[in-house]
Each structure stands twice: as structure tokens, then as C-alpha cells.
Structure 1
Amino acid sequence: MGNQMTEMLKGTLEGIVLAILARRSAYGYEITAWLRDRGFSDIAEGTIYALLVRVEQRGFVDVEKVPSEKGPPRKVYSLNAKGRDQLAEFWRTWSVLAERIEQLHRNDDHHDEGA
């Protein structure tokens, strides 16, 4: 991913992670692996863990410690009601923003044709 993609992703990563957790509970490495499998290869595990700490502090997720076969227990995150509200707000904002960006893009295309 290019630098521009990385910068854009920073602003949307919280919403993306909440959307993943809306599907099912997961721990940090699972979320990172899911993202990498879908082409978000530049996302560092540390980025996801820092984000998970933030959404936990903001009260968007419930956390359960689950025993691990290797090492300490894993923190499994699941989206709670406050997190679902935050995700709904993310999708509303995303829709408005995407629509406006697409409108700019279409207008830009038309401008190019007239040049």
C-alpha cells in the first residue's frame, strides 16, 4: 500500500475494526490476520492492539480473557451496544463522505472532458 492509502486508512481503521467485531468476537491477532487476508498487508499488529485499547477505553467493546494454549490468556473483544451505535455513526459518516468524494470525482471527470 502506498503512503496515501496508509494515511487514509488511519482515519477509517477504527470503523473497520468495529465492523469486523460486529460480525464476530475476535482477539487482536485474528483481526490483523483477517485484514491482511483482505489486502491490508501493511497494517502492523501493534497498530491494531493500540486501537483495541482505545476502543476498550471508549467503552465500545466488551473484553473477555480466554485461556490460550500458548502463553497468557487472550483478550477477546466483542462489540457492545455503545460500539454498535458508534459503528452506525461511522457508516453514516462514511456514506456522506464517499458520496461527496464520488461527486468531486465525477465533476473532475466532466471537467477533464471539456478541457
Structure 2
Amino acid sequence: VGVVTTNLLGEREPEFRNMIRSMFTLFRCWTEGCIADDGTPLSERLRERYGPAWVIFHVLTTMFITVGLFNLITAIVIDNVVNSQLHLKEIDMVERSAEIELKFKHLFT
């Protein structure tokens, strides 16, 4: 996304003049608000200059980041919790089988 905004907007918009500034500007837009260098709302300025193309781009990338990436993070956390629970159950089963084995040995000896 940073490459695209740098290539498309870099010559006309100071917030996107190089890759690092583009990535930082996009990070700010996705986290705390889209504010330009002069303190004005950047997303509104870009909407006025580029129209629906900017709105569609901004909405799609924001949805991808918030829905896609955060769902991926949530899935990783849930997977870790499930795996740790399975591991605990396996440990419990091993301990129980050892106890049962001892009981059978005492019963038949």
C-alpha cells in the first residue's frame, strides 16, 4: 500500500513523497486519524482532490487492515489457546493412565 501511494501521490502530496512518509501517513490514518502536515484533515483533502477513487481506496485498505489483519491476529491467539488446552489434556491423560496402571499392578500382585 505504501508503494502504491508513493507512486500515485508522491509528486503531488508531501505526506506521500517517499516510502517511509507514505507508510507512516497510512499508519496514522489507520490508527489515530488522518491529519496532514499542516494539521488539516488529510482524508478530506484527498477526497476533494481525487474524488471517489480515494474514498474507495481508503475504505478498502482500511477494511482489509481492520478486518483481515485483526482476524488473523485473533485466530493466532485462539489457536495458541486451543493448543495449550490440548497439551494440558494430554498431560492429564498421561498422569491418569499412570495412576490406573499402578492401581492394576497393586490389584493383581
Instruction: Give TM-score scaled by structure 2 length.
Output: 0.37
Instruction: Give TM-score scaled by structure 1 length.
Output: 0.36
Which structure has the larger Rg? 2
If each structure's helix is expressed as a fraction of its own residues, which one has the higher value?
Answer: 2
Q: Which has the higher contact order (CA 8 A, sep 6+)?
A: 1
